[in-house]
Chains A and B, each alone.
Chain A
């Protein structure tokens, strides 16, 4: 249960007093405090209120009969209309104050609820675009960059190619996951940091070797020779004559690569290194694990995000392999 305040003021911060009126009409003073531009009041974190209400946390005690002997063990909610009274004082003529109250928890949802009574369905839905975005951006960013690097290295040959190949080889030997763990632990766990780190570490990877092998063949084509003979510049040849040949190979590969990155993000979250502010599927599994979901019999909490991860992987793989058959007629069979 939280109150989100936003205010605008010149010099003096507004002052707010909170009171609670239950169905029996009794008004209980909760707390008074100053407001910043953005201020969040979390009922359950207010010790003063907790003490006042008999040592039970606000989200339970505010809705219960304080004289109930079972208050601490089996609280029973008292039904009726409740009011929250917010008295605010502003000190500047143009000052303004907005407040929004959010109450967490439903009793049930189509996907069930977690330990905080939050609807799992919402978490699953929230996690979907994050997973897809991460997977897509990582796969796309990595593959395109690899294509360009492989093209440049193969075309120019010589020391350019040698250096790029050595960098690739060294990078492929570096331990990928431990490095990500270090970045997550020591630096920043925001999803964009992780995404950037993943892309940077993946660029000089296997893809470069694969693309290079095909580029080496394409480089010897007669039409490339013809292009040189009518004066095409090096970069024109790389981008307009060689890279288009690889697109049919790139697209299926890209699609099949997306789920790997989705799983990577989920793995990091399960290890506790995911973005703590975003409800990703991996985070849900991690929450479930930290609450002992499997021991408590709350299987659905673990199964639902896992199922979504699997379905995503399967979907992209199936599409990817189908596209492979479209782009490579030889695989179509008779």
Chain B
């Protein structure tokens, strides 16, 4: 039985033009997401992961230099759609997003109910009453009391606001929700609660998620697959348990080493240096400068290979089969 991937990115490129030069935020990214699967994209700040979300959803600023590649959603290349068609058929219809600091991006002068129902009304043309019914259903899924529909954003706690933002992304029952740092500003109990909500949604509504975060520890709460992003490129993709026990790419390993653990035996280690600026990328392997295992060939850009169930972009595994590039 062939499961068609829900989302397939092929050589997705997004470069920005700024007064300081060209920012190569997303540089030939390839990955696949199956239905009802959660992929976590981890990386440090400045690696381009937020830009990746924007590239997928075509939420672009005006200063684009390059925006190419293919994005197959349920088999159809949505990069070919016009902006208007994209807006009508894809965005908030099949894919939606909970942006970074969503809880702060709720409109302070509108009631929560008005905001959450808005995408539903726009995309389905439903009446306000029907939209409110749908909103109440969504609130039930995320665990927000129904009467909060009449409240304003400032009356809710951070955790509740984040749940409301998730309900807003959910209201049109998309197949895929992208979450950008959903819990970074929240307390640990609230964080755990939000992840419980996401796990429930995945189980009950069979939604796929792309979770973008720099927090590896909490990402393990949702991840089926982990993709590591560095300097605009994906350097490793593997199934979650495999990743957390034995990551392959030297950067992934360093990231895992730097996580402080509650239960574990090693003291965490840090990575020397800083990621390269997306304005000024080195040639060859972009992690070369900070990599403890670098050697001569690393001056050329490494290929993406299959190794032991992982996809890795690293010369250390060059003897493995090169990953198919279709």
Answer yes or no: A and B touching, Cβ < 8 Å. yes
CB contacts under 8 Å to A, within B38-96, are 61-63
For the complex, is A229 an interface residue (Cβ under 8 Å from B)? no
Kindly provide the distance from the CB of B191 to the nearest chain A CB, expressed in whole angstroms: 23
Identify whether the interface residues of B are mostly helix, strand, loop, or mixed: loop
> Which residues on A are within 8 Å of B, measured CB to CB?
334
Closest B residue, CB atoms, query A334: B62
**The 3 residue pairs across chains A and B that have the minimum distance between CB atoms:** A334-B62, A334-B63, A334-B61
- CA separation between A334 and B62, bound complex, in Å? 8
Kindly provide the distance from the CB of A331 to the nearest chain B CB, expressed in whole angstroms: 16
In the complex, chain A residues whose CB is within 8 Å of the CB of B61: 334
Provide a sorted-by-A list of 3 A–B residue pairs whose CB atoms are within 8 angstroms: A334-B61, A334-B62, A334-B63
In the complex, chain B residues whose CB is within 8 Å of the CB of A334: 61-63
- CA separation between A334 and B61, bound complex, in Å? 10
Closest A residue, CB atoms, query B61: A334
In the complex, chain A residues whose CB is within 8 Å of the CB of B63: 334
Closest B residue, CB atoms, query A333: B62
Interface residues on B, range: under 10
Kindly provide the distance from the CB of B16 to the nearest chain A CB, expressed in whole angstroms: 11
In the complex, chain A residues whose CB is within 8 Å of the CB of B62: 334
- CA separation between A334 and B124, bound complex, in Å? 34
- CA separation between A108 and B80, bound complex, in Å? 75
Kindly provide the distance from the CB of B240 to the nearest chain A CB, expressed in whole angstroms: 37
Kindly provide the distance from the CB of A169 to the nearest chain B CB, expressed in whole angstroms: 27
Closest A residue, CB atoms, query B18: A334
- CA separation between A334 and B60, bound complex, in Å? 14
- CA separation between A334 and B63, bound complex, in Å? 8
Kindly provide the distance from the CB of A134 to the nearest chain B CB, expressed in whole angstroms: 41
- CA separation between A334 and B18, bound complex, in Å? 9
- CA separation between A208 and B62, bound complex, in Å? 39
Kindly provide the distance from the CB of B23 to the nearest chain A CB, expressed in whole angstroms: 14
Closest A residue, CB atoms, query B62: A334
Kindly provide the distance from the CB of A222 to the nearest chain B CB, expressed in whole angstroms: 16
Kindly provide the distance from the CB of A320 to the nearest chain B CB, expressed in whole angstroms: 25
Kindly provide the distance from the CB of A127 to the nearest chain B CB, expressed in whole angstroms: 44
Kindly provide the distance from the CB of A286 to the nearest chain B CB, expressed in whole angstroms: 50
- CA separation between A182 and B62, bound complex, in Å? 58
Kindly provide the distance from the CB of A329 to the nearest chain B CB, expressed in whole angstroms: 11
CB contacts under 8 Å to A, within B142-177, are none
Kindly provide the distance from the CB of B154 to the nearest chain A CB, expressed in whole angstroms: 16
- CA separation between A334 and B17, bound complex, in Å? 11
- CA separation between A273 and B62, bound complex, in Å? 56
Kindly provide the distance from the CB of A34 to the nearest chain B CB, expressed in whole angstroms: 78
Contact with A along B255-266 (1 / 0, CB 8 A): 000000000000
Kindly provide the distance from the CB of B263 to the nearest chain A CB, expressed in whole angstroms: 34
Kindly provide the distance from the CB of B63 to the nearest chain A CB, expressed in whole angstroms: 6
Closest A residue, CB atoms, query B63: A334
- CA separation between A67 and B62, bound complex, in Å? 87
Kindly provide the distance from the CB of A309 to the nearest chain B CB, expressed in whole angstroms: 39
- CA separation between A334 and B19, bound complex, in Å? 10
Kindly provide the distance from the CB of B125 to the nearest chain A CB, expressed in whole angstroms: 34
- CA separation between A97 and B62, bound complex, in Å? 79
- CA separation between A58 and B175, bound complex, in Å? 102
- CA separation between A334 and B16, bound complex, in Å? 13
- CA separation between A168 and B62, bound complex, in Å? 45
Kindly provide the distance from the CB of A259 to the nearest chain B CB, expressed in whole angstroms: 33
Kindly provide the distance from the CB of B62 to the nearest chain A CB, expressed in whole angstroms: 5
Kindly provide the distance from the CB of B83 to the nearest chain A CB, expressed in whole angstroms: 18
- CA separation between A311 and B62, bound complex, in Å? 37
Contact with A along B160-199 (1 / 0, CB 8 A): 0000000000000000000000000000000000000000
Kindly provide the distance from the CB of A326 to the nearest chain B CB, expressed in whole angstroms: 15
